[in-house]
Amino acid sequence: MIMQSVTWLNGQLLPTDQATIPVNDHGLLYGDGVFEGIRFYKRRAFRLQRHLQRLALSARAIALEIPLSSAELTAVIERLIDAFADEDGYIRLIVTRGAGPLGLNPKSCAQPNVIAIADQLTMMAIDKQQAGARLIVSSVRRLPADGLDPRIKSLNYLNHILAKIEANHAGADEAILLNAQGRVAEGTADNIFIVRNGRLLTPPCSEGALEGITRDLVLDLAQSIGIETSEQPLGVYDLYAADECFLTGTGAELIAVASIDCRSLPGCPGPVFQRLQQAFRRTIDQECGGEK
């Protein structure tokens, strides 16, 4: 049976609007859980094992035992893709602490819930992507690693949501979060790159950026096509003075940036972005374009 939006929930495959979890699930009550976003193209999950590895590390970091093995989760994803209406789409894979009494003690939760939702996700309308994203630098700071390590993809995204609200109020498409030292960390749901004098620069993960799978791929692709790269701390000045800027992420893929805090960038889309976009699409075709 082919469904437009489909959810795998603890062994059951259901239309998403029929999938339910208890209201006392600690993922809902306290944001106690982890997740991954996974793209699929031509009914093939893109870089699935990288996503499952990161999910496992996030779960281990919060002492959450995933009740399925990597092979079992792979089978779940494949089954979900087969049941989805379109060849291309997006999967949100979630593991919550599970149902338990009120009170945040995780010991009270007997069994985690595993949820995988297949649907479409567009981070930005096509016309806006073609014109280039408009960014602001948010007043909301990225949580420091001694509060919540950014390498953990937890269900707690409230500070990113607050930054997104700020972008909405400013009429912008996305917001950039700085870390506690005032250096660039990341977007609300994406990593950020800039280009200066032909060099591709991005903040190191130690500055508060998620260890993005698309981020890593872009760095590898840049080196493979002869673009010099550097992971280095960046300030707001570096954003304003950039020749190009773009966002990366599983949901975002690659999105060129037209302006930051109403300062227009010289290139949108710039030549470096266009080369990387082409290389990114070639990689998808190579990894997902063959017969299943």
First-residue to last-residue Cα distance in the chain: 19
Residue 115's CB: how many other CB atoms inside 10 A? 20
Query: Residue 15 is inside which H or E element, if any?
Result: strand 12-15
Distance of CA 267 to the CA centre of its chain: 25
Which ranges constitute the DSSP H helices of 84-154? 126-131
Active site residues: 153
For residue 98, what are its two tokens?
A: 């599970």
- Diameter of the chain measured on Cα atoms: 57
Contact 81, 45 (CB under 8 A): yes
Q: Which residues pair with 264 in a beta bridge?
A: 259
Angle, CA 30 vertex, CA 89 and CA 114 arms, to 5°: 40
Closest CA to 202 of 192, 189, 211: 192
Listing DSSP states for 146-181 in one string gives: TTS-TT--BS--HHHHHHHHHHHHHT-SEEEEE-TT
Query: Are 159 and 144 a contacting pair, CB within 8 Å?
Result: no
